[in-house]
Structure 1
Amino acid sequence: MTNTAGQARTAPSGAPIPLRFTDYRVPDPGIRSLFDLEARWESWLQVEAALARAQAKLGILPAEAAEAITAKSTLAALDIPAIHRGIAATSHPLMALITELSQTTGEEHGGWVHWGATTQNITQTGDLLQIKKAHLILLDQLEKTLAAAAHLARRGASAVMAGRTHSQQAVPITFGFKVAVWIDELLRHHERLRQLESRMFNAMAGGAVGSFASLGNDGPEVQQLLAQDLGLGSMRIPSRGIADQFAEYVAVLALLAATGGRIAGEIYTLMRPEIGEVREASPQGTVGSSTMPHKQNPQLSQDCTTISAQIRSLLPQAMEAMLHDQEVNGANTAMMDDALSRAIILSGDLLARLTLILTGLEIDENRMRTNLEITHGLVSSEAVMLSLGHAIGRQHAHDVVYDSAQEAIRTHRQFGEVLGANPTVSAHLTQLEIEGLLDPLNHVGLCQDIALEAAVRADSIGMLIH
């Protein structure tokens, strides 16, 4: 990690992001550095160079000028302190960079720098180059999360536990089935991220308002050539006020964050000592409390809960940022830049933690079985009802089993004992049959098959991509 204790990291907007103490044991995804100011400047310079090359191909400017501009379009060739001073003097995000590039390119060719472009053409397209890099990291992270989930689904495929609805025991499931549900959601988020690529990663070079007024009939082809050079698509209408694609990206990350928060929340609950069915792996020496030496807290799950909420809170901001008035409003652009960059950085932090949690999660099958026995057989009431229903009808069977369940709860007796004493039940089911129906192992349906099938689907994503 590059951070040191007590420091704060900086988001693209300049607002501090507090250091999480767990950062020291969580791998850095490598996304945050993509949004450092100088990293963004490098991408903006790439766009300036690609713009010059595209215009040279069409004869708008001399080929020698494009070569000269390209040769100097790197921070290594520029005076960085001069750029900072220029920003302070001009109060403009790009003008100082353009000026320094022009001067460094030289008098003969420097006048062609930034020809026919406006600031947002360069900054938005350049930032998309950084976001595309981050996007590939996020996809790779998500595939690693899915791989960890696949392994966990296989490990827990036959681990019988209580399924819970409304926080109450419902019917038996396997832990692998629970993980399969997580996998199913994560796979759809992966699909969404791939589907939006064609809408998201497009160069913009339409000039001041997107009408190609500065380049005329050559404008669309300049934009197309620039886009091809940079490995991007080309905006059909390069309006600076179009932002739905960015809001969509934040929305998909918010969906992913909701699933991540849900997974973390379930693990957090299942780690409670009163339940104790799973446990986050904790490195040797991890301390849960400065005053309670026994504590082992679900630190990474708590992180995920926090980060998930932070990402989801950015979606209203992204929606608001779409509401440009007229052809563009810089306030809305800045609002979207902030929401988008933060959502991407935080998503990397979330996935890094999810992968760690799922990879090292400890499953306690004995505790799962113990918790199933808490209800003295009630968790399998549906199995009894359905079996009895073949003889007396489902609704009548429901009433009979319901009455027996309430008596068992009221008298603190074993459910099987109460059922056996019910003349309607005993007329159709032997005590041995009742005991078989009340065995949770006999009422998990297709949980194991579902878990194993989901694991195969999760593994296939990585194989398809790589």
Structure 2
Amino acid sequence: MIPRYSRPEMAGLWTDEAKYASWVRVEVLACEAQARLGTISEADLAAIRAGRVPTPEEVREQERTRDHEILAFLAAYTASLPDDAARWVHYGMTSYDLVDTALGHTLAASSDLLLAAAQRLLRALTERAVEHWDTVCVARTHGIHAEPTTFGQKMAGFAFAVHRSIVRLRAARAAVAVGTISGPVGTYGSVDPFVETYVCEALGLGVEPVPTQVVARDRHAELLGAVAVLGAVVEQIGLEMRLLQRTEVREVEEPRSSAYQGSSAMPHKRNPTTSERLCGLARVLRANLGAALEDVALWHERDLAHSSVERVVLPDSLIAAHYQVTSAAELIEGLRVFPDRMRANLEQTDGLIYSSTVMLHLMAAGSEREKAYRTVQDAATETWETGRHLRETLRERGIDTGDDVYDPTRFLRSRDAMRQRLEELLHVEM
């Protein structure tokens, strides 16, 4: 992922330097296990532990004469080791014993960072939901004013969506946090299963229960699936913030630095650029999921078709998602909310948003439902055309429901159950 959409703590996990350090750690742990089995002497193990992590430049130099990254890495790593010790590095292992076990560790660490960002977003949403639980605004369906709701209820709905994504991501984290050190075609023909157990336990990983020569790729697809759904949830939040920042709506405004400039040509512009960016990155995450699903089916015990794809979609998805979710948390934390503007927009349709309560009032007074519906619909049509308040239109027709029907808080009297659910979520997750 390009630096513009990267946060250093996540991007740092996916550098070549970090990869080769992880590979060295796996190789050293495997040698420790072999030493416990009596295969490697303590003197050779000490020399292996003292080896340094090769630089990306050193690996690339070795790859010029090998055309194989793992063999190039091993050559660069063992170059500084005594020959007697170097021969035990990668003993009995195949390339993806190293690659997939290290990858499982990196994916687990990346998932932990993304989970922390998602929990920050969840916390921000729940806090704003509580803050604005009674901030009345208009709800819109099909983009059209519907009935009153509150801004807090909007935020609470998003909070629960993020929570569901966290549950999915935790499950996916468990799925990818596995390794395998089982030798060629996964039979343990050249390496004792103890080596796998030792290495994976040291790295905090599970093991692939029946390996082939690689970790099963449905695991990685599950992770990118959870990431893509989380990205879509963040997109939903970003889209709502974009719509609420339109000039004719302006119920919220995303935080801006003192350096903000919205347009190169129009100095007055205050564009919802952060919200738009959240939506755009979700498209990348969805596209990458498709590529990950293509990687699940491999020829026989393994092929290499997945490797080139994963070098792109795994780091790009996790780095972009971490950036997206962290940016969303910052947006919600710093979001400016305009209750007065919300109230003004609420009354913009001259009482039409109260049509359902008027209809229910007429039905309670004895009117048949269809007749009540048509009566209110006809009055609403006239209000659309004249701009006269629905209450006055109905009074001219001899219908006076009283002012209580036009009180927006009338719609909000039964929300205690939702508030209780939100508080339970706060208690569980915070």
Partner of 1:323: 297
Q: Given the alignment of the two structures, is residue 19 of structure 1 paired with residue 4 of structure 2, yes or no?
A: yes
Partner of 1:307: 281
Q: Which of 158, 168, 171 is the equivalent residue of 2:134?
A: 158
Following superposition, the deviation at residue 457 of structure 1 comes to: 1.5
CA distance in 2, matches of 1:250, 1:79: 29
Q: Which of 352, 355, 380 is the equivalent residue of 1:378?
A: 352
Q: Given the alignment of the two structures, is residue 83 of structure 1 paired with residue 59 of structure 2, yes or no?
A: yes
Following superposition, the deviation at residue 114 of structure 1 comes to: 0.1
Task: Give the secondary structure class of the aligned counterpart of 2:79.
Answer: helix
Q: Which residue type is aligned with residue 365 of structure 1?
A: P
Q: Which runs of 5+ in 1 are unaligned?
A: 1-10, 12-16
CA distance in 1, matches of 2:343, 2:25: 60
Map residues 139-150 of structure 1 onto 2, 5 A cutoff: 139-150=115-126
1:261-280 Cα shifts (integer Å, max 9, x gaps): 11101101110011011101
1:58-97 Cα shifts (integer Å, max 9, x gaps): 234334433332232x41xx57643331022211111122
Determine if contact 1:29/1:349 at 8 Å carries over to the other structure: no
Task: Give the secondary structure class of the aligned counterpart of 1:164.
Answer: strand
Map residues 8-407 of structure 1 onto 2, 5 A cutoff: 11=1, 17=2, 19=4, 28=7, 30-72=9-51, 74-75=52-53, 78=54, 81-215=57-191, 218=192, 220-239=193-212, 240=214, 242-390=216-364, 391-407=366-382
- Aligned in 2, Cα 1:80/1:400: closer, same or farther, shift over 3 Å? closer
Q: Percent identity over the alignment?
A: 28
Determine if contact 1:254/1:311 at 8 Å carries over to the other structure: yes
CA distance in 2, matches of 1:107, 1:50: 19
Task: Give the secondary structure class of the aligned counterpart of 1:169.
Answer: strand
Taking only aligned residues, the RMSD between alpha carbons, in angstroms, comes to 2.1
CA distance in 2, matches of 1:122, 1:388: 74
Following superposition, the deviation at residue 369 of structure 1 comes to: 1.0
Partner of 2:390: 415
Following superposition, the deviation at residue 193 of structure 1 comes to: 1.4
Determine if contact 2:111/2:173 at 8 Å carries over to the other structure: no
Q: Which residue type is aligned with residue 417 of structure 1?
A: E
CA distance in 1, matches of 2:185, 2:218: 17
CA distance in 1, matches of 2:55, 2:158: 50
CA distance in 1, matches of 2:217, 2:232: 23
Which aligned runs of 4 or more in structure 1 are off by greater than 6 angstroms? none
Determine if contact 1:377/1:415 at 8 Å carries over to the other structure: yes
Partner of 1:8: none
1:202-240 Cα shifts (integer Å, max 9, x gaps): 11112222222222xx3x332112111211111101222
Task: Give the secondary structure class of the aligned counterpart of 1:112.
Answer: coil
Task: Give the secondary structure class of the aligned counterpart of 1:443.
Answer: helix
CA distance in 1, matches of 2:194, 2:389: 79
Q: Which residue type is aligned with residue 385 of structure 1?
A: M
Determine if contact 2:179/2:215 at 8 Å carries over to the other structure: no
CA distance in 2, matches of 1:157, 1:66: 62
CA distance in 2, matches of 1:205, 1:449: 51
Q: Which residue type is aligned with residue 223 of structure 1?
A: E
- Aligned in 2, Cα 1:296/1:221: closer, same or farther, shift over 3 Å? same
CA distance in 2, matches of 1:328, 1:131: 20
- Aligned in 2, Cα 1:459/1:89: closer, same or farther, shift over 3 Å? farther
Q: Which runs of 5+ in 2 are unaligned?
A: none
CA distance in 2, matches of 1:55, 1:389: 82
Q: Which residue type is aligned with residue 420 of structure 1?
A: R
Determine if contact 1:153/1:452 at 8 Å carries over to the other structure: no
- Residues 386-395 or 442-451, more deviating: 442-451
- Residues 311-320 or 95-104, more deviating: 95-104
Partner of 1:436: 404
Give the TM-score normalised by the residue count of structure 2: 0.94
- Residues 99-108 or 195-204, more deviating: 99-108
Task: Give the secondary structure class of the aligned counterpart of 1:209.
Answer: helix
Q: Which residue type is aligned with residue 103 of structure 1?
A: A
Following superposition, the deviation at residue 258 of structure 1 comes to: 0.2
Determine if contact 1:176/1:451 at 8 Å carries over to the other structure: no
